[in-house]
Amino acid sequence: MNPIDALSFQRIIAAHGSLEGAVYFDAEEDLVQEIFPDRIVFQTNYLDYRSYEVDLADGAIRVLKTRLDNYQRGDKAKVIEDEMDEEDWEELGTLWQRLSRDLDSQGSQPNRVETLADLFDCLFDEDRAQVLIQGIAPPTAQWDWAWTQVASALAQANQLAEFEWKEWSSCGVIAVNTLAPLQQLNIEIAIPDRKTVDAINGANDWERALLQYFNAQLDAHDLKLLAIGTHFDEHQTFACLPMNGLGLVNALEIMGRLGIVHKF
């Protein structure tokens, strides 16, 4: 019934595991899974917050399931261990299949250094792109290798901001206004009034709505603010990028090949 074979498991934790827990983002389930050098912790979308910690014991796969004893008790609920049932094995099998497929496929991808170089050519002027390309770190098996390189490059150019989605109208506006593209063009995003904040926060897709608030004031300057990274989280990374003709369109396509997600 166990869907995970020991050899594949060992290969993935050896190639991708890190002491702090390397992140694998399951886009289909909108879940973050953590890969350590000796185990993988799978989260789920069940209401009882069940998770599966998978490791090896005497060369065989071992699974520890935990869940809340009664999720309806809210903060008073306790985390307990529980036996795996048929539904759990099916869920674990699905989660494992996607993770192993995506991570194993990285070894057969085209030269990631060349792909990243193409991305730098799209995002930066020729001189800066060449410096960045020459400084690309050797690729590793880490899931976020490409994003680490891109985030570093954007941070050096002061084009990267971080803030919580829910603080977009205060900390978010301040953070975006300090970015180099806005500073160079003397652009200042206006602090929204209460009515605008309420309207955006109440929108069906409020994250996209708040990005549109920024971009409505940036489009005339051929700039675009994107939520960007390996996945979307409460505390999000945002980048302000020039449209650069078709440069940004091409860059977004390359980002997809490198496992970098975006929203604008």
216: in domain: yes
Determine the pLDDT at residue 215: 97
Angle at which helix 86-104 crosses helix 6-16, to 10 degrees, equals: 50
CA distances from 159 to 162, 175, 182, 236, 240 (A): 10, 10, 9, 14, 5
Domain boundary at 82, 107, 132, which? 107
Q: Which residues contact 250 (CB under 8 A, 6 or more apart)?
A: 122
Tell me: do 164 and 246 sit in the same domain.
Answer: yes
Tell me: do 177 and 148 sit in the same domain.
Answer: yes
Tell me: do 167 and 184 sit in the same domain.
Answer: yes
Rg (CA), the chain: 21
Tell me: do 91 and 137 sit in the same domain.
Answer: no
Domain boundary at 87, 107, 127, which? 107
Determine the pLDDT at residue 150: 97
Tell me: do 89 and 114 sit in the same domain.
Answer: no
SS3 50: coil
Structural domain count, the chain: 2
Q: Which domain holds residue 22?
A: 6-107
Token pair listed for 170:
């205060």
Tell me: do 202 and 166 sit in the same domain.
Answer: yes
SS3 41: strand
Domain boundary at 77, 107, 137, which? 107
CB contact at 8 A, 156 and 179: no
Number of H helices, E strands in the chain: 10, 10
CB contact at 8 A, 13 and 42: no
CB contact at 8 A, 145 and 112: yes
Cα 46 from Cα 77, distance rounded (Å): 15
Tell me: do 141 and 166 sit in the same domain.
Answer: yes
Tell me: do 69 and 181 sit in the same domain.
Answer: no
SS3 4: coil
Tell me: do 121 and 232 sit in the same domain.
Answer: yes
Cα 66 from Cα 48, distance rounded (Å): 9
Tell which residue, 25, 143, 40, has the closest CA to residue 92. Answer: 40
Each residue's pLDDT expressed in tens, for the chain with a length of 264 residues: 788 988 889 989 988 898 989 888 888 888 899 999 999 999 999 999 999 999 999 888 999 999 999 877 877 889 999 999 999 999 999 999 999 888 875 554 558 899 999 999 999 999 999 999 999 988 876 668 889 999 999 999 999 999 999 999 999 999 999 999 999 999 999 999 999 999 999 999 999 999 999 999 999 999 999 999 988 889 999 999 999 878 899 999 899 888 888 999
CB contact at 8 A, 12 and 29: no
Determine the pLDDT at residue 106: 57
248: number of Cβ within 10 Å: 19
Determine the pLDDT at residue 141: 65
1: in domain: no
Determine the pLDDT at residue 227: 96
25: in domain: yes
Tell me: do 166 and 257 sit in the same domain.
Answer: yes
Tell me: do 244 and 222 sit in the same domain.
Answer: yes
Q: What is the DSSP letter of 177?
A: H
Sheet holding 235-242, edge to edge: 160-164, 235-242, 223-229, 261-263
Tell me: do 25 and 146 sit in the same domain.
Answer: no
